[in-house]
Amino acid sequence: MSDHQDSLAASTWLPLLTTRYMGRGQAEVLQEATSTNTLLKQMALSGAPAGSLCLCESQTAGKGRLGRIWHSPAGQGLWLSVLLRPRIQPEQAPLVTLCAALAMAQAVNETTGLDARIKWPNDLVLEGKKLCGILLEIGFAASGIDYIVVGTGLNVGRSAYPAELAHQATSIADHMTPPPRRELLVRYLAALEETITRLENDGFAALAEAYRARSCTLGSMVKVSGSEEFTGVAEDIDETGGLLVRDQTSVLRRVLAGDVSVRGVMGYV
């Protein structure tokens, strides 16, 4: 695909938007950024409205969780951050990651037919390998949540990740000729508006069925590592986004953070 056909210039996708506000605030579209999350946080602090976004062709300091690096080579992905100012309680904030994961899984499926699955909490996987990572950054005010920046790194092109990650990473181009990135963007923004609106109005219960249908974690054997280490079967998500895992002594335990490996996914056997 030539650069022109796969342009992310706002003029190519703004007319395609089907949303009420998502993607319609301020839009910063850059050739190169340090991190779209970092830039959008600055925009949030300067008063940018909900639905504003920042996206770029390449990131020089793409961030994962816990200071990890997110590889974001030029033209190879949808390196995108969206600004939300959701009407939810602070303890519900982790659910926004789940909303974004569901929205991106739906967008990938609708535009490519590929069966992207959600690995709780913040990964999308395709045939057991990581296709997309999500990073939430939250700003609080005295009254509650001020803003949430939702960053998504979706691998689209053949060179989206370095060769040393080939055992655990994948890209749409590993499976098919990718659609123009603006199609993924427009579908994601529409799906994100819907999942966030449902969360605001009715809580996660309104999304649970759709989430479960796209999850590769629920119903699977998982290994939890971090402050507590145990294995068990992931049974459900609770009302604040925690994962409920039944351990080998049949006790249901709530996992809020930490790393969860799913058997058969991203190199865990």
Applying CB under 6 A, the residues found at the interface with ligand BT5 are: 35-37, 59, 62-66, 68-72, 79-81, 122-123, 130, 133-135, 151-153, 155, 160-161, 165, 169
Report which DSSP code applies to 169. Answer: B
Residue 113 CB contacts under 8 Å (≥ 6 apart), including other chains:
none
Judged by beta carbon, residue 90 or residue 267, the one nearer ligand BT5 is 267
Residue 81 Cβ, how far from ligand BT5 at the closest point, in Å? 5
**What φ, ψ does residue 64 adopt, rounded to 5°?**
-105, -165
Residue 102 Cβ, how far from ligand BT5 at the closest point, in Å? 16
C-alpha–C-alpha distance, residues 249 and 236, integer Å: 17
Judged by beta carbon, residue 64 or residue 203, the one nearer ligand BT5 is 64
**What φ, ψ does residue 101 adopt, rounded to 5°?**
-65, -45
For the chain, counts of helices (H) and of strands (E):
5, 12
Residue 223 Cβ, how far from ligand BT5 at the closest point, in Å? 16
Residue 170 Cβ, how far from ligand BT5 at the closest point, in Å? 8
Judged by beta carbon, residue 74 or residue 206, the one nearer ligand BT5 is 74
Structure tokens at 72: 């974001």
Structure tokens at 143: 């009254």
C-alpha–C-alpha distance, residues 217 and 52, integer Å: 31
Judged by beta carbon, residue 35 or residue 106, the one nearer ligand BT5 is 35
Residue 119 Cβ, how far from ligand BT5 at the closest point, in Å? 9
Whether 172 and 108 have beta carbons less than 8 Å apart is answered as yes
C-alpha–C-alpha distance, residues 224 and 212, integer Å: 19
Judged by beta carbon, residue 106 or residue 170, the one nearer ligand BT5 is 170
Residue in the shown chain whose Cβ atom is closest to ligand BT5: 133
Q: Which helix (H) or strand (E) holds 196?
A: helix 181-202
The sign one gets for the Cα dihedral 97, 98, 99, 101 is positive
Judged by beta carbon, residue 63 or residue 187, the one nearer ligand BT5 is 63
C-alpha–C-alpha distance, residues 98 and 215, integer Å: 10
Judged by beta carbon, residue 77 or residue 86, the one nearer ligand BT5 is 77
Residue 248 Cβ, how far from ligand BT5 at the closest point, in Å? 26
C-alpha–C-alpha distance, residues 212 and 117, integer Å: 10
Residue 183 Cβ, how far from ligand BT5 at the closest point, in Å? 18
